[in-house]
Amino acid sequence: MNDRLLSWFPLVQRSRPPALPLDARIRQLKDLAAQPAAGDIQQQAIRAAEVCNKAALIASDCAVPDLARALCWSQYAVFDQARPLPPWAVKLALQPILNIARQLIREGDGSSAYAMLEALLSAARAKSSVEITGRTVDLHTITGTAGDYKTVCTLVWAALLADGTRALTQAGRWHEAAEAAATHRGVGARLLDGRQTTILALAKNGRHNEATALVENSRPSEPWEEAVRNLLRIMCRDTGSAPATHVDAMLTTALTLRRQPVPGTTVFLTRVGIATLVLAAGHTDGRIPQLHTDILAMAHTDGYAARDALTHPQLRHAMTASQHHALTSLVRTAGLDAGTLPEPLRSDLMSAVQTAQDRLRCCLGHGAVTSPTTPPAGS
């Protein structure tokens, strides 16, 4: 099984903003932070939290982990100081903590990310505190309404299934990832994280027939799942070349998805396309050159996709010198893995974050609730 290809699985279609040139991303951040207060308190808080989340993502993309982590903690501190939170703010408060786990995964520390998410879920269920990278996260008084604790548990549970599964597979712990998905009731009939992980764990363990049976018995409900099923069908084969009918179906679904794109799925579509090229190697099909063209066209619109395309030998060798230069330039101007966030962009980012956090404090002050265990002031 191709290790580079395997690192993209479980491969699930999720929307993500593109990695545009760094100056454009930070300009968008400043514009979002500077928008006048509009809408209700909740809508204003959501926009402010979006600025903070995107700022931390930019720092992580630029491979400045200390800054990325500090941004998450400063965002969480705004919510922590306003507890108990109104119901609508609970998800916003948890987001920066969950983002820390995602940062650890991006940094290659999947084992620590999974341990963190598991500890967070235990604390959520027990309504207790947990230590996260040396800091205390108290989930006991995060909200003043007993029913809202279910929301806390559900959010962390969903993150454990999606991000936690990826954390373990990234660490090469496929069997544990499959067991964890089953334990946490995350293996359904659809080709989401849990089922894909279970299929590939079986295949890696030599249980190809069982893996294939899970593929065939899946119940995809969206077109992207059908495309992934066609990839898995070939990946789970024991030996030998894939039948032409399987390759034909795989190419058909990959090209169909490209012609009917869902906004924010460029990276997913690029990875499906590259995986299709890898698995179709050795087969002759007139549509393969078109798939090459489609993948390169997508890669020119998103630094993340450009980075993926540049790491794929077949695509890289098929590029013209100008295409290679354009993709390399896009990755560089997006700041991906640069190891630094240069001035004045860093100051602009921090200014946008400060504005957003001030807005959050104002929103949370208006939306404060009274804990059922604490008498209202003046009572």
Q: What are phi and psi of 305, to 5 degrees?
A: -65, -40
The whole-model pTM stands at: 0.90
The listed range with the strongest mean pLDDT (108-112, 280-284, 349-353) is 349-353
Task: Label residue 378 by pLDDT band (50, 70, 90).
Answer: very low
| pLDDT confidence of residue 369 | 41
Whole-angstrom CA distances from 147 to 12, 127, 143, 158, 356 are 31, 12, 9, 18, 29
| pLDDT confidence of residue 376 | 35
| pLDDT confidence of residue 57 | 98
Q: What would the pLDDT profile of 291-350 be if each residue is shown by its tens digit?
A: 999 999 999 999 999 999 999 888 888 899 999 999 999 999 999 999 999 999 999 999
pLDDT above 90: percentage of residues in the chain: 78
Q: What are phi and psi of 11, to 5 degrees?
A: -105, 100
Residue 368 has pLDDT above 50, yes or no: no
Residue 110 has pLDDT above 80, yes or no: yes
Residue 281 has pLDDT above 50, yes or no: yes
Q: Contact 20/343 with Cβ under 8 angstroms? A: no
Residue 22 has pLDDT above 90, yes or no: yes
What is the three-class DSSP state of 130?
strand
How many Å apart are CA 303 and CA 336, to the nearest integer? 8
Residue 175 has pLDDT above 90, yes or no: yes
Q: What would the pLDDT profile of 34-53 be if each residue is shown by its tens digit?
A: 988 777 899 999 999 999 99
| Residue 136, beta-bridge partner list | 131
How do the residues of the chain divide into helix, strand and coil, expressed in percent and rounded to 5? 65, 5, 30
Q: What would the pLDDT profile of 181-220 be if each residue is shown by its tens digit?
A: 999 899 999 999 999 999 999 999 999 999 999 999 999 9
| pLDDT confidence of residue 318 | 84
Terminal-residue alpha carbon distance, the chain: 67
Orientation angle between helical segments 244-259 and 266-279, nearest 10 degrees: 160
Query: What residue type is 185 in one-letter code?
Result: R
How many Å apart are CA 184 and CA 179, to the nearest integer? 9
Task: Label residue 373 by pLDDT band (50, 70, 90).
Answer: very low
Q: Tell me how crowded residue 245 is: count the other CB atoms within 10 A of its CB.
A: 8
Mean pLDDT of 136-160: 86
Residue 239 has pLDDT above 90, yes or no: no
What are the structure tokens assigned to 68, written together? 């990325």
| pLDDT confidence of residue 374 | 37
Alpha helices in 127-261 (DSSP H): 148-159, 165-170, 174-183, 193-204, 208-216, 223-235, 244-259
Mean confidence (pLDDT) of the chain: 91
Q: Contact 186/207 with Cβ under 8 angstroms? A: no
Q: What are phi and psi of 283, to 5 degrees?
A: -100, 150
Residue 240 has pLDDT above 70, yes or no: no
What are the structure tokens assigned to 141, written together? 């008084």
